[in-house]
Chain A
Amino acid sequence: MNHGNMNSDTLISVKHLWRYYDHFCAVKDISFEVKRGQILGFLGPNGAGKSTTMQILTGTLAPSLGEVAVGGYDLLDQPLAAKQALGYLPEHPPLYHDMRVDEFLKFCAKLHHLPSAEVTTAVNRVIDQCGLTGVRKRLIGNLSKGYQQRVGIAQAIVHTPSVVILDEPTIGLDPIQIREIRDLIRQLGQAHSVILSTHILSEVQALCSQVQIINHGQLVLTDTIEGLFSQIQTTHLQVGLRRPPAIEQLRQIREVEAVEVIDETHFRLRHSADHNPAEELVEKSVANQWGLFELVPEKRSLEQIFVELTRTEVAVNEPTMTTTSPLSDNLSTDLILKVKEAA
């Protein structure tokens, strides 16, 4: 396999990746690339093949078919060189609970063949970067979940890898720590490639330059964040009516494409981007005394795209929020926050 012609700025290249567990196909023909300076948000519901892909990228799992190259080295042909260029924080941070923080990071640095002269400097640098100065002599097992998570991140970047793969890095952290870690990831993204798997979609919006959504082992979306948002043409109006009419009447308003019932008095109207039915709605509301008390223009958030792309079982033409999968329930609080922000 010749990677000599590969763009030197492409740090991760995945080509036609397949992975079977016996007869179950967890990853189906995935191909993508991550370049230097990009932060890729990797999204997908549980069991979609996200973790499998991450494990294959880090060499802890072998692909059934396909090619993976990290930092220009093929993961199967030159595993050691490829892994040298890689920092990985698994879903569950791999920490030895009987070691001290600095001792553990020193071990990780040596494990990645850092010259012994540079080990101390590197360890001090990550301890500083990840805000571990106060706990550097403490036993990892005695640290709180948030600090353990930070040690996990420190472990992934101690050898300054060109590719950093983080599986849900901000889980279990308090809001201030989340901000710090996000700043850190943003910083990493400038000089390295970062792949970030997360359930928190606002994190993707805040951090990532690229987004990928995987469902049932297949990539259902690959785009830049800007491209994704410019693509969102359909917008929504959230309407609150004290004496709502029959849904049919709402649907009859010109330019309204679909009506979703949120609760007894709240409705979500879908309309095309260039025709806003707000004016006609207000007129009709006054004429028929519907009692309009709320009118919120709502942009489709990443959550909604995510839900629509990953909810394959439910008919696409009738996207009612009441019949969503359990996944969207987890997201609903986040979604409500989003709507309030929009208001």
Chain B
Amino acid sequence: MWTIAVREFRSFFLSPLAWSILGVIQLIFGWVFAILLYWYLQPDIQSQLANHPEAPGLTDIVVRNLFEWMGMVLLLIVPLITMRLISEERRNRTLPLLLSSPVSLTSIILGKYLGVMGFFLVMLAMLMLMPLSLLLGGTLDFGQVGAGVLGVTLLIGAFTAIGLYISTLTAHPTVAAIGTFGALLMLWMVGWADQAEEQTGVLTYLSITEHYHTLLKGVFNSQDVVYYVLVIVLFLTLSVQRLEGDRI
């Protein structure tokens, strides 16, 4: 399992795709972060905040919005990263190497999954340097930042599991990318139906966004964590089943 994970992780850094994604992401969030900070430091905003007794703090405005943006951008990026996981193995016919080696299907899927998660955690660590730089001139609510990091990690975890599953379905990375993007977008938007009627129902529970927002507010609710864990376990199991189905 770890052998596969390490190979997967390393192979990202051999491809220009991963480097370009890392670079572009860093650029975009540098810009977002700068704008948010600039906006926060505007004199009229500062005076408004000063007059308000329950004014949101630095963390709430800058860091939370940054995470909010990350969720949206990840929606676009995760499909690009996960698309080639299994589909490229199918395309290059390298899957027999893994299937004929003494490694269980669960280990293959988990190895792939952990490899990608490793890549995303590197990306996240680089992005987290920006909010942490605020410590130079201010203070942060570490509880809220921690909940945000947990939220974004779980979000990536769920996105990746879905992307991995869709990648097992096809031999064409592009098809996998489009399929994953569609699936993630649907999960993102599915809660809107309930919002229109101003009530929370099944669709809100299914919506990936709702659970994310709760965590970003700094509210640690086990219900949200369970939601993500369920999504991850479900799609990883489906991926294993899918590979098993190939043999039959």
Contact = CB atoms under 8 A, between A and B. Distances in A.
Interface string B70-95: 00000000000000000000001111
Interface in A61-103: 61-62, 79-81, 83-84, 86, 88, 90, 92, 94-99
B11 A96 contact: yes
B96 A60 contact: yes
B102 A81 contact: yes
Contact of B101 (A62, A90, A97, A112): A112
Interface in A262-285: none
A97 B88 CA distance: 11
Contacts of B103: 80, 111
Interface in A87-134: 88, 90, 92, 94-99, 107-108, 110-113
Of B15, B92, B102, the most chain A CB neighbours within 10 A belong to B102
A58 interface: yes
Contact of A94 (B4, B93, B102): B93
B100 interface: yes
B14 interface: yes
A155 B96 contact: no
Nearest to B97: A94
Nearest to B108: A111
B93 A60 contact: no
A58 B3 contact: no
A111 B98 contact: yes
Contacts of A58: 96, 99-100
A59 interface: yes
A155 B100 CA distance: 12
B184 to A, nearest CB: 27
A98 B102 contact: no
A62 B3 contact: no
B4 A111 contact: yes
B247 interface: yes
B104 interface: yes
Interface in B95-141: 95-104
B248 interface: yes
Nearest to A100: B14
Given A107-B7, A111-B4, A86 B100 contact: yes
Contact of A80 (B14, B94, B95, B104): B104
Interface string B1-31: 0011001000100110000000000000000
Interface of B: 3-4, 7, 11, 14-15, 92-104, 247-248
Given A60-B247, A111-B4, 9 more contacts: A88-B96, A90-B96, A94-B95, A96-B7, A97-B92, A98-B14, A111-B98, A111-B101, A111-B102
